[in-house]
Structure 1
Protein backbone atom coordinates (compact mmCIF):
# COMPACT_ATOMS: atom_id res chain seq x y z
CA UNK A 1 0.00 0.00 0.00
CA UNK A 2 1.26 3.49 -0.87
CA UNK A 3 2.47 5.75 1.94
CA UNK A 4 0.15 8.76 2.33
CA UNK A 5 1.58 11.94 3.87
CA UNK A 6 -0.68 14.77 5.08
CA UNK A 7 1.21 18.06 4.86
CA UNK A 8 -0.89 19.81 7.50
CA UNK A 9 -1.02 20.33 11.25
CA UNK A 10 -4.80 20.93 11.11
CA UNK A 11 -6.69 18.53 13.40
CA UNK A 12 -9.76 19.00 11.18
CA UNK A 13 -7.91 17.87 8.04
CA UNK A 14 -6.47 14.93 9.97
CA UNK A 15 -9.97 13.84 11.05
CA UNK A 16 -11.36 14.24 7.53
CA UNK A 17 -8.55 12.23 5.94
CA UNK A 18 -9.00 9.57 8.62
CA UNK A 19 -12.68 9.41 7.63
CA UNK A 20 -11.58 8.69 4.06
CA UNK A 21 -8.65 6.26 4.51
CA UNK A 22 -8.52 5.34 8.21
CA UNK A 23 -5.25 5.76 10.12
CA UNK A 24 -3.15 4.82 7.09
CA UNK A 25 -1.22 8.08 6.78
CA UNK A 26 1.46 10.11 8.50
CA UNK A 27 1.20 13.79 9.41
CA UNK A 28 4.13 16.01 8.48
CA UNK A 29 3.29 19.73 8.72
CA UNK A 30 4.85 22.07 6.21
CA UNK A 31 7.19 24.86 7.26
CA UNK A 32 6.14 26.98 4.25
CA UNK A 33 5.33 30.50 5.45
CA UNK A 34 2.51 31.52 3.03
CA UNK A 35 3.80 34.94 1.96
CA UNK A 36 1.37 37.41 0.38
CA UNK A 37 1.84 37.21 -3.39
CA UNK A 38 0.85 40.07 -5.66
CA UNK A 39 -1.07 39.69 -8.91
CA UNK A 40 -2.82 36.42 -8.07
CA UNK A 41 -6.56 35.84 -7.68
CA UNK A 42 -7.63 34.36 -4.31
CA UNK A 43 -8.06 30.95 -5.95
CA UNK A 44 -4.61 31.14 -7.55
CA UNK A 45 -3.08 32.21 -4.23
CA UNK A 46 -4.62 29.28 -2.33
CA UNK A 47 -3.48 26.86 -5.05
CA UNK A 48 0.03 28.33 -4.93
CA UNK A 49 0.16 27.90 -1.14
CA UNK A 50 -1.03 24.29 -1.36
CA UNK A 51 1.56 23.51 -4.06
CA UNK A 52 4.41 25.02 -2.02
CA UNK A 53 3.30 23.17 1.12
CA UNK A 54 3.32 19.85 -0.75
CA UNK A 55 6.72 20.52 -2.32
CA UNK A 56 8.18 21.60 1.02
CA UNK A 57 7.08 18.37 2.73
CA UNK A 58 8.10 16.22 -0.26
CA UNK A 59 11.76 17.05 0.45
CA UNK A 60 11.58 14.91 3.61
CA UNK A 61 10.35 11.69 1.97
CA UNK A 62 11.69 9.37 -0.74
CA UNK A 63 8.37 7.90 -1.81
CA UNK A 64 4.64 8.12 -1.19
CA UNK A 65 1.83 10.57 -1.89
CA UNK A 66 1.77 14.02 -0.28
CA UNK A 67 -1.58 15.75 0.27
CA UNK A 68 -1.73 19.45 1.11
CA UNK A 69 -4.49 22.05 1.25
CA UNK A 70 -4.99 25.73 1.93
CA UNK A 71 -8.49 26.95 2.81
CA UNK A 72 -9.89 30.45 3.20
CA UNK A 73 -13.19 32.26 3.28
CA UNK A 74 -13.80 34.62 0.33
CA UNK A 75 -16.25 37.49 0.66
CA UNK A 76 -16.55 40.26 -1.93
CA UNK A 77 -13.19 39.25 -3.41
CA UNK A 78 -11.46 39.52 -0.02
CA UNK A 79 -9.70 36.60 1.65
CA UNK A 80 -10.70 36.20 5.29
CA UNK A 81 -8.05 34.07 6.97
CA UNK A 82 -7.70 33.20 10.64
CA UNK A 83 -8.38 36.16 12.94
CA UNK A 84 -5.39 37.15 15.06
CA UNK A 85 -7.51 38.53 17.92
CA UNK A 86 -11.05 38.37 19.35
CA UNK A 87 -11.61 41.87 17.95
CA UNK A 88 -10.78 40.73 14.41
CA UNK A 89 -12.97 37.64 14.86
CA UNK A 90 -15.84 39.94 15.82
CA UNK A 91 -15.28 42.10 12.71
CA UNK A 92 -15.22 39.04 10.43
CA UNK A 93 -18.39 37.55 11.89
CA UNK A 94 -20.19 40.91 11.70
CA UNK A 95 -19.14 41.14 8.04
CA UNK A 96 -20.43 37.63 7.24
CA UNK A 97 -23.62 37.89 9.31
CA UNK A 98 -26.66 37.13 7.15
CA UNK A 99 -24.49 36.85 4.04
CA UNK A 100 -23.57 34.31 1.40
CA UNK A 101 -19.84 33.75 0.90
CA UNK A 102 -17.49 31.10 -0.45
CA UNK A 103 -15.07 28.74 1.24
CA UNK A 104 -12.29 27.97 -1.23
CA UNK A 105 -9.58 25.32 -0.89
CA UNK A 106 -6.45 24.91 -2.95
CA UNK A 107 -5.68 21.17 -2.97
CA UNK A 108 -2.44 19.55 -4.13
CA UNK A 109 -1.61 15.85 -4.41
CA UNK A 110 2.02 15.04 -5.21
CA UNK A 111 3.23 11.53 -6.10
CA UNK A 112 6.88 11.30 -5.08
CA UNK A 113 7.43 8.07 -7.02
CA UNK A 114 6.26 9.31 -10.43
CA UNK A 115 6.78 13.05 -9.88
CA UNK A 116 3.16 13.62 -10.91
CA UNK A 117 1.49 16.60 -9.28
CA UNK A 118 -2.19 17.60 -9.43
CA UNK A 119 -3.49 20.91 -8.03
CA UNK A 120 -7.14 21.90 -8.12
CA UNK A 121 -9.41 24.27 -6.24
CA UNK A 122 -12.80 23.56 -4.68
CA UNK A 123 -15.44 26.13 -3.79
CA UNK A 124 -18.43 25.80 -1.45
CA UNK A 125 -21.13 28.42 -0.97
CA UNK A 126 -22.09 29.08 2.65
CA UNK A 127 -24.96 31.12 4.06
CA UNK A 128 -24.58 32.41 7.62
CA UNK A 129 -27.62 33.40 9.69
CA UNK A 130 -28.10 36.95 10.93
CA UNK A 131 -26.00 37.33 14.07
CA UNK A 132 -26.64 39.74 16.92
CA UNK A 133 -23.70 41.34 18.70
CA UNK A 134 -24.55 39.24 21.75
CA UNK A 135 -24.46 36.00 19.76
CA UNK A 136 -21.16 36.94 18.12
CA UNK A 137 -19.67 37.73 21.56
CA UNK A 138 -20.97 34.45 23.02
CA UNK A 139 -19.48 32.48 20.12
CA UNK A 140 -16.11 34.22 20.42
CA UNK A 141 -16.03 33.42 24.15
CA UNK A 142 -16.01 29.70 23.26
CA UNK A 143 -12.58 30.28 21.69
CA UNK A 144 -13.57 28.32 18.58
CA UNK A 145 -13.36 31.18 16.03
CA UNK A 146 -9.79 32.18 16.81
CA UNK A 147 -7.96 29.56 14.71
CA UNK A 148 -10.54 29.19 11.94
CA UNK A 149 -10.59 30.89 8.54
CA UNK A 150 -13.45 33.38 8.51
CA UNK A 151 -13.74 33.01 12.31
CA UNK A 152 -16.20 30.10 12.33
CA UNK A 153 -16.17 26.31 12.28
CA UNK A 154 -18.92 24.67 10.25
CA UNK A 155 -18.22 21.34 11.99
CA UNK A 156 -18.14 22.73 15.54
CA UNK A 157 -20.39 25.03 17.55
CA UNK A 158 -20.42 27.25 14.47
CA UNK A 159 -22.72 24.66 12.85
CA UNK A 160 -25.68 26.49 14.43
CA UNK A 161 -24.64 29.66 12.58
CA UNK A 162 -24.62 28.02 9.15
CA UNK A 163 -28.05 28.23 7.56
CA UNK A 164 -27.08 26.11 4.57
CA UNK A 165 -24.25 25.14 2.24
CA UNK A 166 -24.07 24.45 -1.47
CA UNK A 167 -21.30 22.18 -2.69
CA UNK A 168 -18.91 19.91 -0.81
CA UNK A 169 -19.59 20.42 2.91
CA UNK A 170 -16.25 18.85 3.81
CA UNK A 171 -14.54 21.58 1.81
CA UNK A 172 -16.11 24.11 4.18
CA UNK A 173 -14.38 22.22 7.01
CA UNK A 174 -11.00 22.26 5.24
CA UNK A 175 -10.54 19.24 2.97
CA UNK A 176 -12.72 18.55 -0.10
CA UNK A 177 -13.09 14.78 0.21
CA UNK A 178 -14.96 14.19 -3.06
CA UNK A 179 -12.30 15.98 -5.14
CA UNK A 180 -9.47 14.38 -3.14
CA UNK A 181 -10.92 10.90 -3.71
CA UNK A 182 -11.11 11.54 -7.46
CA UNK A 183 -7.51 12.78 -7.60
CA UNK A 184 -6.26 9.79 -5.60
CA UNK A 185 -7.98 7.46 -8.07
CA UNK A 186 -6.03 9.16 -10.89
CA UNK A 187 -2.90 8.18 -8.94
CA UNK A 188 -4.08 4.57 -8.79
CA UNK A 189 -5.20 4.80 -5.16
CA UNK A 190 -8.80 3.87 -4.29
CA UNK A 191 -10.23 4.73 -0.87
CA UNK A 192 -12.03 1.37 -1.11
CA UNK A 193 -8.76 -0.59 -1.13
CA UNK A 194 -8.66 -3.22 1.62
CA UNK A 195 -5.61 -1.57 3.14
CA UNK A 196 -7.69 1.49 3.92
CA UNK A 197 -10.51 -0.35 5.70
Structure 2
Protein backbone atom coordinates (compact mmCIF):
# COMPACT_ATOMS: atom_id res chain seq x y z
CA UNK A 1 0.00 0.00 0.00
CA UNK A 2 1.35 3.43 -0.91
CA UNK A 3 2.04 5.77 2.02
CA UNK A 4 -0.83 8.08 2.91
CA UNK A 5 1.47 11.01 3.55
CA UNK A 6 3.96 12.91 1.37
CA UNK A 7 7.64 11.90 1.62
CA UNK A 8 9.40 13.83 4.36
CA UNK A 9 12.94 13.45 3.01
CA UNK A 10 13.82 15.37 -0.14
CA UNK A 11 16.26 14.02 -2.77
CA UNK A 12 19.02 16.50 -1.92
CA UNK A 13 19.14 15.59 1.80
CA UNK A 14 22.42 14.29 3.18
CA UNK A 15 22.59 10.58 3.93
CA UNK A 16 23.14 10.82 7.68
CA UNK A 17 21.56 8.66 10.43
CA UNK A 18 18.85 11.06 11.57
CA UNK A 19 17.63 11.94 8.09
CA UNK A 20 17.84 8.34 6.91
CA UNK A 21 15.61 7.32 9.82
CA UNK A 22 12.93 9.76 8.64
CA UNK A 23 12.64 8.18 5.19
CA UNK A 24 9.13 6.80 4.81
CA UNK A 25 7.99 8.34 8.10
CA UNK A 26 5.20 10.81 8.69
CA UNK A 27 6.91 13.94 9.99
CA UNK A 28 4.85 16.92 11.13
CA UNK A 29 5.92 20.47 11.96
CA UNK A 30 3.66 21.97 14.62
CA UNK A 31 4.07 25.49 13.28
CA UNK A 32 2.80 27.72 10.49
CA UNK A 33 6.09 29.64 10.39
CA UNK A 34 7.28 29.87 6.77
CA UNK A 35 10.81 30.48 8.07
CA UNK A 36 10.95 27.15 9.91
CA UNK A 37 9.51 25.31 6.93
CA UNK A 38 12.06 26.91 4.59
CA UNK A 39 15.01 26.16 6.88
CA UNK A 40 14.08 22.49 7.14
CA UNK A 41 13.62 22.27 3.37
CA UNK A 42 17.10 23.73 2.81
CA UNK A 43 18.50 20.67 4.56
CA UNK A 44 16.21 18.19 2.84
CA UNK A 45 13.30 17.77 5.23
CA UNK A 46 9.75 18.57 4.09
CA UNK A 47 7.40 17.95 7.02
CA UNK A 48 3.64 18.27 6.88
CA UNK A 49 2.49 21.57 8.33
CA UNK A 50 0.00 21.34 11.18
CA UNK A 51 -0.04 24.54 13.28
CA UNK A 52 -0.56 24.03 16.98
CA UNK A 53 -3.62 25.47 18.69
CA UNK A 54 -1.83 25.70 22.04
CA UNK A 55 -2.69 29.06 23.59
CA UNK A 56 0.95 29.88 24.43
CA UNK A 57 -0.16 31.15 27.83
CA UNK A 58 2.69 29.88 29.99
CA UNK A 59 4.08 32.46 32.39
CA UNK A 60 7.80 33.12 31.96
CA UNK A 61 7.89 34.00 35.66
CA UNK A 62 7.08 30.39 36.55
CA UNK A 63 10.47 29.21 35.27
CA UNK A 64 13.53 29.39 37.47
CA UNK A 65 15.66 29.29 34.32
CA UNK A 66 14.14 31.51 31.64
CA UNK A 67 15.77 29.40 28.92
CA UNK A 68 13.34 26.61 29.82
CA UNK A 69 10.40 28.78 28.79
CA UNK A 70 10.69 28.40 24.98
CA UNK A 71 11.42 24.68 25.44
CA UNK A 72 8.23 24.31 27.46
CA UNK A 73 6.18 26.20 24.88
CA UNK A 74 7.66 24.09 22.08
CA UNK A 75 6.77 20.96 24.05
CA UNK A 76 3.16 22.02 24.50
CA UNK A 77 2.86 22.85 20.80
CA UNK A 78 4.21 19.47 19.74
CA UNK A 79 2.15 17.48 22.24
CA UNK A 80 -1.06 19.30 21.28
CA UNK A 81 -0.55 18.44 17.61
CA UNK A 82 0.48 14.87 18.36
CA UNK A 83 -2.59 14.32 20.53
CA UNK A 84 -4.81 15.74 17.83
CA UNK A 85 -3.31 13.62 15.06
CA UNK A 86 -2.69 10.39 16.93
CA UNK A 87 -4.51 7.50 15.33
CA UNK A 88 -4.78 4.73 17.85
CA UNK A 89 -6.86 4.42 21.01
CA UNK A 90 -4.69 5.65 23.85
CA UNK A 91 -5.11 7.78 26.92
CA UNK A 92 -2.87 10.83 26.92
CA UNK A 93 -1.87 12.80 29.96
CA UNK A 94 0.75 15.30 30.95
CA UNK A 95 2.65 12.66 32.95
CA UNK A 96 5.23 12.28 30.17
CA UNK A 97 6.19 15.93 30.50
CA UNK A 98 8.76 17.24 32.93
CA UNK A 99 6.81 18.74 35.87
CA UNK A 100 7.68 22.33 34.96
CA UNK A 101 6.24 21.79 31.46
CA UNK A 102 2.99 20.07 32.42
CA UNK A 103 0.74 23.11 32.92
CA UNK A 104 -2.40 23.13 30.85
CA UNK A 105 -2.37 19.71 29.18
CA UNK A 106 -5.68 17.92 29.59
CA UNK A 107 -6.09 14.16 29.71
CA UNK A 108 -7.89 12.95 26.61
CA UNK A 109 -8.64 9.83 24.59
CA UNK A 110 -8.66 9.62 20.83
CA UNK A 111 -9.23 6.81 18.36
CA UNK A 112 -8.90 6.43 14.59
CA UNK A 113 -7.03 4.66 11.78
CA UNK A 114 -3.88 3.09 13.30
CA UNK A 115 -1.92 3.20 10.03
CA UNK A 116 -1.65 6.94 9.56
CA UNK A 117 -0.40 8.41 12.82
CA UNK A 118 2.53 10.80 13.02
CA UNK A 119 5.94 9.22 13.53
CA UNK A 120 7.46 12.50 14.64
CA UNK A 121 6.01 15.87 15.58
CA UNK A 122 8.38 18.83 15.81
CA UNK A 123 7.52 21.85 17.95
CA UNK A 124 9.59 25.03 18.19
CA UNK A 125 9.43 28.38 19.94
CA UNK A 126 11.80 31.34 19.71
CA UNK A 127 12.22 34.20 22.16
CA UNK A 128 14.63 37.11 22.48
CA UNK A 129 16.31 38.14 25.72
CA UNK A 130 17.59 41.69 25.92
CA UNK A 131 20.90 42.80 27.44
CA UNK A 132 22.72 39.52 26.92
CA UNK A 133 26.31 39.05 28.06
CA UNK A 134 28.73 39.74 25.16
CA UNK A 135 31.22 36.89 24.82
CA UNK A 136 34.12 39.35 24.56
CA UNK A 137 33.29 41.22 27.78
CA UNK A 138 33.82 40.41 31.44
CA UNK A 139 31.18 42.94 32.47
CA UNK A 140 28.01 41.32 33.80
CA UNK A 141 25.62 43.66 32.01
CA UNK A 142 22.54 42.08 33.55
CA UNK A 143 23.89 42.96 37.00
CA UNK A 144 24.54 46.64 36.31
CA UNK A 145 22.22 49.16 38.02
CA UNK A 146 19.25 49.95 35.82
CA UNK A 147 19.98 47.11 33.40
CA UNK A 148 17.70 44.09 33.48
CA UNK A 149 16.91 41.39 30.97
CA UNK A 150 13.51 41.40 29.31
CA UNK A 151 11.96 38.55 27.38
CA UNK A 152 10.69 39.70 24.01
CA UNK A 153 8.19 37.74 21.96
CA UNK A 154 6.20 39.18 19.03
CA UNK A 155 5.30 42.87 19.32
CA UNK A 156 1.65 43.72 19.87
CA UNK A 157 1.69 46.65 17.45
CA UNK A 158 4.06 49.13 15.80
CA UNK A 159 4.50 51.17 18.95
CA UNK A 160 5.53 48.03 20.83
CA UNK A 161 7.83 47.11 17.94
CA UNK A 162 9.60 50.48 18.21
CA UNK A 163 9.93 50.08 21.98
CA UNK A 164 11.59 46.69 21.49
CA UNK A 165 14.01 47.98 18.88
CA UNK A 166 14.98 50.96 21.04
CA UNK A 167 15.77 48.53 23.86
CA UNK A 168 17.86 46.35 21.54
CA UNK A 169 19.57 49.28 19.82
CA UNK A 170 23.34 49.43 20.37
CA UNK A 171 23.12 46.37 22.58
CA UNK A 172 23.41 42.59 22.50
CA UNK A 173 20.45 40.25 22.68
CA UNK A 174 20.21 36.50 23.03
CA UNK A 175 17.95 34.53 20.70
CA UNK A 176 16.79 31.28 22.28
CA UNK A 177 14.90 28.59 20.39
CA UNK A 178 13.43 25.56 22.09
CA UNK A 179 12.73 22.49 19.97
CA UNK A 180 10.73 19.48 21.16
CA UNK A 181 10.21 16.16 19.41
CA UNK A 182 7.20 13.98 20.19
CA UNK A 183 7.07 10.42 18.90
CA UNK A 184 5.17 7.22 19.69
CA UNK A 185 6.42 4.60 22.15
CA UNK A 186 4.85 1.46 23.57
CA UNK A 187 4.98 2.55 27.20
CA UNK A 188 2.39 4.77 28.87
CA UNK A 189 1.21 7.38 27.95
CA UNK A 190 1.99 6.32 24.38
CA UNK A 191 4.53 8.97 23.39
CA UNK A 192 7.92 10.26 24.43
CA UNK A 193 9.43 13.74 24.31
CA UNK A 194 12.98 14.87 23.65
CA UNK A 195 13.98 18.53 23.68
CA UNK A 196 16.89 20.82 22.96
CA UNK A 197 17.61 24.52 23.11
CA UNK A 198 19.92 26.71 21.06
CA UNK A 199 21.23 30.17 21.93
CA UNK A 200 22.72 32.81 19.62
CA UNK A 201 23.90 36.36 20.29
CA UNK A 202 22.86 39.26 18.07
CA UNK A 203 24.78 42.55 18.17
CA UNK A 204 22.86 45.65 17.06
CA UNK A 205 24.36 48.79 15.58
CA UNK A 206 23.63 52.02 17.42
CA UNK A 207 21.00 52.86 14.82
CA UNK A 208 19.48 56.34 14.40
CA UNK A 209 15.85 56.71 15.38
CA UNK A 210 14.95 57.49 11.76
CA UNK A 211 16.15 54.02 10.70
CA UNK A 212 14.26 52.32 13.52
CA UNK A 213 11.09 54.17 12.55
CA UNK A 214 11.55 53.28 8.89
CA UNK A 215 11.93 49.63 9.81
CA UNK A 216 8.86 49.67 12.05
CA UNK A 217 6.86 51.29 9.24
CA UNK A 218 7.81 48.40 6.95
CA UNK A 219 5.79 46.07 9.18
CA UNK A 220 8.32 43.28 8.79
CA UNK A 221 9.02 42.93 12.50
CA UNK A 222 5.42 42.57 13.66
CA UNK A 223 5.39 38.78 13.26
CA UNK A 224 8.88 38.15 14.63
CA UNK A 225 10.13 37.44 18.13
CA UNK A 226 11.99 40.55 19.25
CA UNK A 227 10.43 42.60 16.47
CA UNK A 228 13.11 42.08 13.81
CA UNK A 229 13.95 39.69 10.97
CA UNK A 230 17.67 39.26 10.41
CA UNK A 231 17.09 37.59 7.04
CA UNK A 232 15.12 40.57 5.74
CA UNK A 233 15.19 44.34 6.07
CA UNK A 234 16.08 43.92 9.73
CA UNK A 235 19.54 42.82 8.70
CA UNK A 236 20.39 46.53 8.26
CA UNK A 237 20.07 46.99 12.01
CA UNK A 238 22.49 44.23 12.97
CA UNK A 239 26.29 44.43 13.18
CA UNK A 240 27.09 40.75 13.72
CA UNK A 241 25.94 37.52 15.32
CA UNK A 242 27.65 34.80 17.33
CA UNK A 243 26.15 31.35 16.97
CA UNK A 244 23.75 29.68 14.56
CA UNK A 245 22.31 32.07 11.97
CA UNK A 246 19.35 29.77 11.32
CA UNK A 247 18.55 29.83 15.02
CA UNK A 248 18.17 33.61 14.84
CA UNK A 249 15.83 33.17 11.87
CA UNK A 250 13.72 30.70 13.84
CA UNK A 251 15.02 27.13 13.78
CA UNK A 252 18.44 25.74 14.85
CA UNK A 253 18.91 23.31 11.97
CA UNK A 254 22.47 22.19 12.75
CA UNK A 255 21.69 21.30 16.37
CA UNK A 256 18.38 19.69 15.38
CA UNK A 257 19.89 17.29 12.85
CA UNK A 258 22.77 16.43 15.19
CA UNK A 259 20.19 15.75 17.89
CA UNK A 260 18.34 13.38 15.55
CA UNK A 261 21.60 11.56 14.83
CA UNK A 262 22.19 11.19 18.57
CA UNK A 263 18.71 9.79 19.19
CA UNK A 264 19.19 7.23 16.41
CA UNK A 265 22.57 6.18 17.77
CA UNK A 266 21.35 5.89 21.37
CA UNK A 267 18.05 4.09 20.74
CA UNK A 268 17.61 1.33 18.16
CA UNK A 269 13.83 1.61 18.60
CA UNK A 270 13.63 5.35 17.91
CA UNK A 271 10.72 5.93 15.46
CA UNK A 272 10.21 2.18 15.06
CA UNK A 273 6.87 1.90 16.93
> Does 1:35 find its partner at 2:57?
yes
Q: Which runs of 5+ in 2 are unaligned?
A: 1-23, 87-116, 132-148, 266-273
- C-alpha distance in 1, partners of 2:260/2:212? 39
> Does 1:26 find its partner at 2:98?
no
- C-alpha distance in 1, partners of 2:184/2:118? 5
Cα root mean square deviation, aligned: 1.6
Aligned residues: 188
CA displacement at 1:39 relative to structure 2? 2.4
- C-alpha distance in 2, partners of 1:145/1:117? 32
Query: In the alignment, what sits opposite 1:17?
Result: 40
CA displacement at 1:139 relative to structure 2? 0.6
Bigger CA drift: 98-107 or 32-41?
A: 32-41
The TM-score, its normalising length taken from structure 2, stands at: 0.66
Query: In the alignment, what sits opposite 2:164?
Result: 92
Write out the 4+ residue segments of structure 1 that deviate beyond 2 Å after TM superposition.
Answer: 36-39, 112-116, 186-189
CA displacement at 1:140 relative to structure 2? 1.1
Tell me which protein shows more strand as a share of its residues. Answer: 1
- C-alpha distance in 1, partners of 2:58/2:66? 11
> Does 1:50 find its partner at 2:103?
no
Q: Which runs of 5+ in 1 are unaligned?
A: 190-197
CA displacement at 1:112 relative to structure 2? 2.5
Q: Are the aligned partners of 1:70 and 1:106 in contact in 2 as well (CA < 8 Å)?
A: yes
Query: In the alignment, what sits opposite 1:177?
Result: 253
Bigger CA drift: 120-129 or 180-189?
A: 180-189
- Which protein has the larger Cα radius of gyration, Structure 1 or Structure 2? 2
Which of 133, 141, 154 does residue 217 from structure 2 map onto?
Answer: 141
Tell me which protein shows more helix as a share of its residues. Answer: 1
CA displacement at 1:113 relative to structure 2? 4.9
Which of 104, 112, 119 does residue 64 from structure 1 map onto?
Answer: 119
Q: Are the aligned partners of 2:129 and 2:152 in contact in 1 as well (CA < 8 Å)?
A: yes
